[in-house]
Amino acid sequence: NIMYNITIKMFFKTSLVIITICFFYFNSYTQESDYFEYQNEVLWGINKNTNGGLIGGLNLKFGNKIKDNTYKVYGIELVNVKHPKEYKYTSPFGGDNFIWAKQNTMYSFRMQYGFEKSIFNKKDENGIQINANLTGGPSLGFLVPYYIRYNRNNAVVVEAFDSNIHNFNNVIGSAGFLEGINEAKIRPGVNLKSAVNFEFGSMKKGSIALEVGFLVEAFTKKMIIMPTVQNKSIFTSAFIALFYGRKWK
């Protein structure tokens, strides 16, 4: 986990360096062409963030032009938010993984509205367009009970984890990720996101975008993921997202 945290920090530091270099590089050019001007866009993708796993979540974004180089954007995200103290252990029963002391799995469904500004337009089809955006809106946090498969009297049972009744050495592994979804508790909240994205490709062939940014999210109550350690109601994260989609005039 130490190496994982170091890798994440280096990854985002490198991304910021790339953004800075690109900013000064493209700033040396004037915006002369509107060859890639568009009126509408729809993009979908996946993200990696400092609060998530290998794939942090899914993104969907819509945009409409309101004036030169300025777009109104709408977005939705569905992400898995992990506690920094979550550690995977291997069960002696078949080598399945589980997380000890985890009570709930947290998901966040985010709705976002804001604006995107084209900082640098493309000069040709092989160029890069750089945009900056600021969005925010309501969030719905879902706390889904964490279920495990457990060896109870030599029989396999599926139960919501409870450190008061479960023994570490009898855990077989995690249950399916949909287990307990009907018992989810919902917490309202808000989110605010700022990002810079780099767009490649043409309108005819489809658009690919790489987005890097930061997000803060707050809920009305603490989100209890692991009750034996500190939990919080405000979350911050850095993220990188890969988008693919279409633009049209």
Closest C-alpha to 226, from 59, 87, 40, 29: 87
Q: What is the largest CA-CA distance in the chain?
A: 75
Per-residue pLDDT of 163-175, as tens digits, reads 889 999 999 999 9
CB 72 within 8 A of CB 66: yes
pLDDT at 128: 85
Cα 67 to Cα 39, 64, 70, 128, 153: the distances in Å are: 9, 9, 5, 21, 68
Low-confidence stretches of the chain (pLDDT beneath 50): 2-4, 6-7, 21, 23, 25-35
CA distance 46 to 240: 9
Closest C-alpha to 31, from 1, 59, 69, 2: 69
Q: Which amino acid is at 173?
A: G
pLDDT at 206: 77
